[in-house]
Structures are given as structure tokens and as C-alpha cells.
Amino acid sequence: MHHFKYKENELHCEDVPVCKIAEEVGTPFYLYSHATLARHYHVFSNAFKEMDSLVCYSAKANSSYAVLKLFADLGSGLDIVSGGELFRGLKAGFKPEKIVYSGVGKRIDEIDYALESGILAFNVESLEELEVINSRAAAMNKIAPVAIRVNPNVDPKTHPYISTGLKKNKFGIEADAAIEAYIIAQDLVNLDITGIDCHIGSQIIQAQPFEDALESLKDMILELRGMGINIRHLDMGGGLGIIYNEETPPLPDEYAAGIISSLKGMNLKLILEPGRVIVGNAGILVSKVLYRKSGEIKDFVIADAGMNDLARPSMYGAYHGVQPVVSSDRRTIVADIVGPICESGDFLATDRKMPDVKQGELIALMSAGAYGYTMASNYCSRLKPAEIMVKGNQFHVIRKRQSYDDLVAGESIPSFLTDPPRHL
Ligand code: LLP
């Protein structure tokens, strides 16, 4: 069941009219449906329930405290890429033994924090990182659980900025070198080699790249086991795509069935790191049309949300559906939907065929639950938007819109600027 739908021409999130929220909190704001978030988590984790598996929701897709708390309460694990995500995750109640830590650039203080917390595994992305984790674990008198992130050289056929499993990408260790890395790791006494990991990219809408990566990892697991290195878990990363427009990604059940059948008899625990597929279609960005204007060759819809609120269109040319919050019969226009920021790259949609929206009207940018707020910035000293979660007929502000004071919080003026000015 879809939880963003029109009732009597008005877009609702579950049982709350979107207009009502806009009246009370202003625009722009991100809006999440609790029922959709929970359902997506259940659909995904149930798809793997016949295997020994752990879903580690990928915090980077949406790390708002309430969203994390919801998944922690459902028993999810967490995939993190920074000390900040570890902090948020622990605060939201994730069990450290369900947290995996990926990323090419883990700092020493972050490694120490993760060791102290007792996470499930470090997904290690270079030989130097392996050595650093070992020495930090030794200094702290701990044994660090590690998996090597393998770069299987598979083309995920997605946007180049979000494909991560090709040799030219910075991620992981190439297959042959990874075997070497395991041999080295075996001799590092403060490491416990627990698994193997990959993540080949994001918004992947075909099954084949996942199958190719899995085959290559399975071969490596057998080779490593043959050498006496007992790989206990396989982390397949995230990456399953969603429908933004007319994509036809595999359903979680189809994705799971392929993985499960391929891993029969391998005696492995499976870890998954889904982000977008859980939260992407559980959220929208609501904005107000500030102005309309028509150029000689184009119509512009000027919204009060811009690239600082939703970066994906400018950054990846990503498509987000645009709908008026109150629907009515009207003519169709073709327009660029742009934000208030002073660059031409500040758009939410280009050459978009859409209903003729008017000044003051609310519009919804669809499928904005993943990589929306987490990528928002204060560019042009714009305030980061509010975030709202709806459950049933109630809405809850889960993050206030920033204030002007928030903008300068933490800034200070050095004394040479505050001392009585010297006039030259
Ligand atoms: N695991 C690792 C190691 C990752 O790097 C990522 C995403 C995920 C899991 C979750 O991937 P997902 O299931 O969400 O596809 N900002 C871009 C997406 C960047 C993805 C980065 N890594 C976007 O807006 O499309």
C-alpha cells in the first residue's frame, strides 16, 4: 500500500493532509511516512529470513535520529561510514554488535571509537588501513573483527558517481590483491578475520551486476577457505535501486531469491546494507512555488527549495517526480523547476512536463527519503529544512527547521577583529 496518495484531490501522507503540515511548519520540509519506512524494512528483511542474515540499514541514506530509532527498534543493524554515524547509531539504540563500518578513509579517532564500542566488523579498504586497525587494537588490548572489502570489478550500470565496484573506483581492494591482504591479515595478531565484503554501487536496477559480484566473491571465499582462512560472513553491501520514474528494479524478494539460492551450502552468515530501497520512497520534499516566469525559450517554476535542500538533481541529473499537493484539472506546461540559489545548476527538475502550478502553490518532490536531508547543506546561508514524520493521523516534527542563530552556532570572531579597530 502506498502511503502518499490523494484523497479528494489533496495529497496525504498516511491520514494527514500535506497542506495542513505546511500551514503549521512552513516550507520546505521533508516528510516521511512511518508506515512506509517500517513496511520497507520488513519487506526487505523478510525476504532473507530463510538464511542466517542481518540487515544493516545504511545510515548515509537517511540518518535522522527518529528514522534510525525506528529501524533500531525493529531489530535492524547499521552500516556506517563515519564516527558521526556511529554516534548517531549508538544514540538511537543500535546494538554495537550489529554495526558494520565501511569507508576508504577511517581516521584513527574513528577507529578507536569503533573498537571501544565493539562493532561487528570493519570493512577494510586498504592494506594500510589493515595495519592501522591492527595497531590500534593492539594499543587498546582488543581484537578487531575485520572483513576485506573486495572490488570485484563489476559494472553496476548506474551513474558513474555512484558506481563503486570498478577497478577505476577508489573503493575496496582488487580481487587478487585481496587474497594477499587476507594472508597479511592472518599474521596480524590483533585482527580476527570474520568475513568478506563488497558494495558495487547504488541505484542498481538489474540483477546481473549483483550476481556477477556474488560469483566472484564466492570463488574467493572457497579459495581462502582452501588456504585455512575461514570466512564466516559475506557482506553484499547495498545498492538495490528504486522506482523514481520508470525504472524496473528487481523486487527485494527477487533480489533475495537469487542471493539465497547462490549461497546454498556455503555455510555463511549474510549481511546486507540497504539504504535507498528502505527509505527512498518513504519520503517526499514539500516546497512552495515562490514565482513563475516565462523566458523566450523556457518556463521557470521558482521553488523555495533548492540544491542545498535536495542536491540529487544538480549532482547526478537525478529524476524526482513533481506533483502539485492539491490536484486539479489544468493545462500541462514544460518547465524547469529551480531553487533560489545563485547558480544555474540549482534545479530540481529540467524540461519537466507538469501541471501548470501557480505562485503560492505547494509542490511535492517525490522519492526524496534517501540522500535528501543527509546531503542538504547551508550553501548560501540557507536554513536546512524541517523534517516531519507522520504516523496515522498525527504528524511529528522530528527535526526543526534551522534558525538564523543555528547558522552561526559554533562560529567565533578572533580577538584581533574584536579589539578596538586600528585605523590605518
Ligand atoms: N554500503 C556502502 C558501503 C555504501 O557506500 C552505500 C552507499 C550503501 C551501503 C547503501 O547503498 P544504497 O542501498 O542506498 O544504494 N548520494 C547518492 C548515493 C550514494 C551511495 C553511497 N553509498 C545518491 O543520491 O544517489
Per-residue pLDDT of 238-280, as tens digits, reads 999 999 999 999 999 999 999 999 999 999 999 999 999 999 9
C-alpha cell at 51: 538464511
Percentage of residues in the chain with pLDDT exceeding 90?
A: 91
pLDDT given for residue 189 in this prediction: 98
Reported as type and span, the H/E element at residue 56 is strand 53-58
Q: Does 350 fall in a domain?
A: yes
Q: Tell whether the model's pLDDT for residue 21 goes beyond 70.
A: yes
185 and 210 share a domain? yes
C-alpha cell at 53: 542474515
Q: How many domains does the chain have?
A: 2
Q: Does 416 fall in a domain?
A: no
pLDDT given for residue 424 in this prediction: 58
94 and 240 share a domain? yes
Secondary structure of the chain: what % helix, strand, coil (to 5)? 35, 25, 40
Cβ-count burial of 124 within 10 angstroms (0-12 exposed, 13-18 middle, 19+ buried)?
A: buried
pLDDT given for residue 212 in this prediction: 95
CA distance 112 to 215: 34
- The 10 Å CB-count burial string (b at 16+, else e) for 2-17 is ebbeeeeeebbbbebb
Report residue 421's pLDDT band, with 50, 70 and 90 as the boundaries: low
Average pLDDT over residues 188-199: 98
Per-residue pLDDT of 358-416, as tens digits, reads 999 999 999 999 999 999 999 999 999 999 999 999 999 999 999 999 999 999 999 99
Q: Does 185 fall in a domain?
A: yes
261 and 323 share a domain? no
Distance 210 CA to ligand 1 centre (A): 14
DSSP 113-128: HHHHHT-SEEEE-SHH
69 and 18 share a domain? no
Q: Out of 232, 249, 276, pick the residue that ends a domain.
A: 276
Distance 270 CA to ligand 1 centre (A): 18
Structural domain boundaries, residue 81 = 34-276
Q: Out of 276, 299, 330, pick the residue that ends a domain.
A: 276
CA distance 108 to 21: 43
291 and 204 share a domain? no
DSSP 339-386: -SSSSTT-EEEEEEEEE---TT-EEEE-S-SSSSGGG---GGGPPPPE
Give the domain CATH number at 130. 3.20.20.10
DSSP 77-127: EEEESSHHHHHHHHHHT--GGGEEE--S---HHHHHHHHHHT-SEEEE-SH
Q: Does 284 fall in a domain?
A: yes
165 and 187 share a domain? yes
Active site residue 342: yes
CA distance 137 to 129: 12
Q: Does 212 fall in a domain?
A: yes
CA distance 210 to 33: 29
Q: Which residues pair with 265 in a beta bridge?
A: none
Distance 370 CA to ligand 1 centre (A): 9
Per-residue pLDDT of 351-360, as tens digits, reads 999 999 999 9
Q: Of all atoms in ligand 1, which is nearest to the CA of residue 273?
A: 9
257 and 289 share a domain? no
Find the range with the poorest average confidence among 95-104, 169-178, 367-376: 169-178
Q: What are phi and psi of 395, to 5 degrees?
A: -120, 150
63 and 191 share a domain? yes
271 and 317 share a domain? no
- The 10 Å CB-count burial string (b at 16+, else e) for 28-51 is bbbbbbbbbbbebbeebbebbeeb
pTM exceeds cut of 0.85:
yes
Q: Tell whether the model's pLDDT for residue 64 goes beyond 90.
A: yes
Q: Does 417 fall in a domain?
A: no
170 and 241 share a domain? yes
Q: Does 404 fall in a domain?
A: yes
CA 119 vs. chain centroid, Å, equals 20
Kindly list the protein residues whose Cβ atom lies closer than 6 A to any atom of ligand 1: 58, 60-61, 79, 102, 162, 199, 202-203, 237-240, 273-277, 312, 316, 370-371
CA distance 249 to 204: 7
CB hemisphere CA count around 139 (13 angstroms): 12
Q: Which residue's alpha carbon is at the smallest distance from atom 6 of ligand 1?
A: 238
235 and 340 share a domain? no
Distance 132 CA to ligand 1 centre (A): 25
Q: Does 89 fall in a domain?
A: yes
Give the domain CATH number at 379. 2.40.37.10
Per-residue pLDDT of 294-314, as tens digits, reads 988 899 999 999 999 999 999
Ligand 1 mutation target, pool 44, 56, 60, 125, most atoms within 8 A of CB: 60
259 and 305 share a domain? no
